[in-house]
Amino acid sequence: MKLALAQLNPVIGDLDGNAKKIFKVCKEIKNEDVDLVITPELSLIGYPPKDLLFNPRLFEEEKDVLNKLSERLSNLSRDLSVLIGIAEPTPDKEIPKLYNSVVILEKGSWRIVARKQLLPTYDVFDEKRYFRSAENSSILNFNHQEKLWKIGITICEDIWVEKNLQNEKIQGKDPLRSLEQEKLDLLINLSASPFIEAKSLLRQRIAAKASIRLSCPVIYVNQVGGNDELIFDGSSFALNNEGKLRHELPAFTESISLCDISSLQQKTSISSKNPTSQEVLFRALVLGVNDYARKCNFKSAVIGLSGGIDSALVATIAVAALGKSKVHAILMPSPWSSAGSVKDATALANRLGINHQRIPISAVMNSFNDVLSNSTWGIPTGITAENLQSRIRGTILMALANQRKHLLLSTGNKSELAVGYCTLYGDMNGGLSVIGDLYKTSVFDLCDWIDGESSSTCRNDFFLPETGEIISSEIRSKPPSAELRPEQLDSDSLPDYFILDPILKGLIEQHLPTEVLIEKGFNKKIVLQVANLLKKAEFKRYQAPPLLKISHQAFGSGWKKPIASR
């Protein structure tokens, strides 16, 4: 039996478009003697559809699309079957009113063959808001060449039942337990598992446990592409019945790969591709920017280029994602901007080959001072004056974005967002925060990699300069500064980032109490200061643009702290 693993990049809600994508896959492999095509979880509507699922008309359209697609596939080939993930309405009026289901399309019709049992409600997931859990595991009896194949069908979280590997498990049945006595020929998992660093390896280890428990090969097909804050890496694979890797699809790329069941009977394993963590991270962010712009109908982007390392990294990612002709940089020096920063920003724009324009803001600052000097508050001073500079820049960038229909890319990092070292309606302006889930120390690490030799493959793939530095040693070695007052440094207001970031990781990603961090040896005064800044900045983060999630805990839909609390 020959399978096609269709690692697809759907547009959420675009039922017709996603159906056409599935049909295109089937048309491409028509002459390859494929028996079964496997697509990802909720592949017809895209994942996560969120509150689009509250629209009852959606399911009439879904049914109509399935009927039409079944007919088209039957006309294409009577011997081809396709597994597709859908949202299935329940027959009663109780809530939730849907199942997260899988249908098989074959011989001109379609039918439900599986429903998801374990529904995640942690981090960015909220599936119990929409779906109810299935009560039983699913087996597809699939006829092929006079043999009845017993195929277990699971959906994403249903195989995440190994507490020793994942540290925790969703409450409920173990969907694999009832399959252990069934003597399956194959287990298939349709998935929409978002990217975080090192997760692809964990998925393979989880699936390997399933293959050993069930003594059968495992096929894992994952969604790829960016949908809002989430990035899906694909990284689909097939394992033999001993849990060894026999087939692997590329990460961050929509692709189709054929897999013969006979090849999964072999005992040997293939070598998994293991690029550096920096390369994986870079590719993830590039895909996130590309798909956010494409799916939101932005053709180009604008960036405020300061000469600092954050905006340099965002500009490089944007060029890789959109192409240099689609990225526009604006330099907005104030009286406090150093000549070196302006020079570095200009040099970076020239190296990347992007259009750039210089718009000094001194005159605008003076205009504000003139207006406010006649008010009862007087000319802004201190932090107010510094924030005003940032807001002037933010207003200019938003005006240009509106005028030219650019996507404004915010350049703030996670460390700044965590402690509020950013300005509402200023440098926080934007349609997408590219590195808002990247700590400052990680920004430096990624830029070091970009300027090193090991980035050559990515440079070629994304048409970046092939030789020489891109970010530059001048930018990478420069002490971080917002340059909003004379000789300002970030370290004037914050601990050094190599001290700050480990504390933030403990507070944000490990949810450690301050007492535990102090016991671990962190300075008590600094820990309490950072924890206080983290809490005080909550109201800012509620108003921040969506950011690309790449960590276990990002400031996005999976971060639900109250603003008013004690």
**What's 207's domain CATH number?**
3.60.110.10
User: What pLDDT score does 150 carry?
Assistant: 95
Query: Which of these three, 269, 289, 306, is where a domain ends?
Result: 269
215 and 348 together in one domain: no
261 and 383 together in one domain: no
User: What is the chain's mean pLDDT, rounded?
Assistant: 95
288 and 262 together in one domain: no
Q: Which residues of the chain have pLDDT under 50?
A: none
Could you tell me if residue 303 is inside a domain? yes
CB 45 within 8 A of CB 52: yes
User: What pLDDT score does 351 carry?
Assistant: 97
Could you tell me if residue 234 is inside a domain? yes
298 and 443 together in one domain: yes
254 and 325 together in one domain: no
Residues in the chain: 566
Q: How far apart are CA 166 and CA 246, in angstroms?
A: 23
Q: What is the pLDDT of residues 187-218, one digit of tens each?
A: 999 999 999 988 999 999 999 999 999 999 99
Could you tell me if residue 498 is inside a domain? no
Could you tell me if residue 508 is inside a domain? no
The predicted model scores a pTM of 0.96
User: What pLDDT score does 235 carry?
Assistant: 96
Query: Which of these three, 245, 269, 293, is where a domain ends?
Result: 269
CB 28 within 8 A of CB 78: no
Helix, strand and coil content of the chain, in percent to the nearest 5, comes to 40, 20, 40
Supply the CATH number for residue 409's domain.
Answer: 3.40.50.620
Q: Look at residues 99, 222, 190, 83 and name the one whose alpha carbon lies nearest to residue 140.
A: 83
CB 95 within 8 A of CB 110: no
Could you tell me if residue 511 is inside a domain? no
Query: Which of these three, 238, 269, 300, is where a domain ends?
Result: 269
DSSP class per residue in 146-194? TEEEEEEEEEGGGG---HHHHS---SS--TTGGGTTS--SEEEEEE--B
264 and 288 together in one domain: no
218-222 and 186-191 beta bridge pairing: parallel
Coil, strand or helix at 122: coil
317 and 432 together in one domain: yes
- For residue 289, what are the domain limits? 280-482+537-541
Q: How far apart are CA 288 and CA 496, in angstroms?
A: 29
Report, as residue numbers or ranges, the catalytic residues.
41, 116, 156
Q: How far apart are CA 200 and CA 237, in angstroms?
A: 10
256 and 138 together in one domain: yes
Could you tell me if residue 553 is inside a domain? no
Coil, strand or helix at 357: strand
Sign for the CA dihedral angle at 517, 518, 521, 527 comes to positive
User: What pLDDT score does 300 carry?
Assistant: 98
DSSP element (H, E) containing 289: helix 277-295
User: What pLDDT score does 196 carry?
Assistant: 93
114 and 60 together in one domain: yes
C-alpha angle 204-158-235 in degrees, rounded to nearest 5: 30
223 and 304 together in one domain: no
CB 222 within 8 A of CB 253: no
299 and 245 together in one domain: no
Q: Name the DSSP class of 480.
A: P
Could you tell me if residue 206 is inside a domain? yes
247 and 322 together in one domain: no
Could you tell me if residue 17 is inside a domain? yes
User: What pLDDT score does 484 carry?
Assistant: 82
Domain count for the chain: 2
Report cis status (omega within 30 of 0) of the bond before 48. yes
